[in-house]
Structure 1
């Protein structure tokens, strides 16, 4: 069963390649970020297949226009027909104000590009789509062999 055309975000059943891609985003975060407290990082591209990042710093402008420009610049630097935006940050994956601001900027950038751009939140134990609430989590994520 497919979601209604006006519903936003990811819905079941997820295509297997997207499942693997999102798992790779979590695994990449776990392997790359050992600190429990770290800055929010906006990733654009495909996990394991080329990405560009923007590390947020305290005092960065939180204006929608600036965030949209950041995303448009990142999206212009990736060579993938269906780039993904994923945000890594400490804490649980409940949507926070900052996540909602990045989601609004992602929507604006997608509108300017006239193409869909998916956004997910990624933490140490899983991922979550802030629009639909769809998520996956693992107690202990490990790289698959082979």
Structure 2
């Protein structure tokens, strides 16, 4: 099975919880442009803002993710790719487009792929369906 599986490793659970918390603090609007993040939540990361005319070409999206991976990942670190967007966690078309690009970019770099979709209250892996939801997320 591809993607995150249960039980979620503690280090990954902590990192993805941080991604949700940071997103909830940073984005208060109902409608906002989705962002593609690569790196470590709460640490070093590179971000690409998606516009209404986001890249429609698979090769261009792959090149963008590859550039973000090269910018942020240390030789021994596993990249985490997360897409922050409004709405619920049902899988949307652009989630799958960016998943495909991230899969290709990480394969070219010889790195494993961890990709999740993040909202203000939750994260979810679009490949496996594994995720977490919080009603009241607080700093620990």
Q: Provide the aligned C-alpha RMSD in A.
A: 0.8
Unmatched runs of 5 consecutive residues or more in structure 2: none
The residue that corresponds to 1:143 in the other structure is: 139
Pick from 119, 125, 128: which aligns with 1:123?
Answer: 119
Unmatched runs of 5 consecutive residues or more in structure 1: 1-6
Superposition deviation, residue 79 in structure 1: 3.4
The residue that corresponds to 2:39 in the other structure is: 45
Q: Does 1:105 align with 2:101?
A: yes
Superposition deviation, residue 36 in structure 1: 1.2
| Secondary structure at 2:103 match in 1 | helix
Superposition deviation, residue 60 in structure 1: 2.4
Distance 2:70 2:82 in 1: 16
Superposition deviation, residue 45 in structure 1: 0.2
Q: Does 1:19 align with 2:13?
A: yes
Distance 2:73 2:44 in 1: 8
Superposition deviation, residue 15 in structure 1: 1.1
Distance 2:128 2:27 in 1: 26
Which one has a bigger Cα radius of gyration? Answer: 1
* Matched pairs, number: 138
The residue that corresponds to 2:73 in the other structure is: 79
Q: TM-score, normalised by structure 2?
A: 0.96
Q: TM-score, normalised by structure 1?
A: 0.92
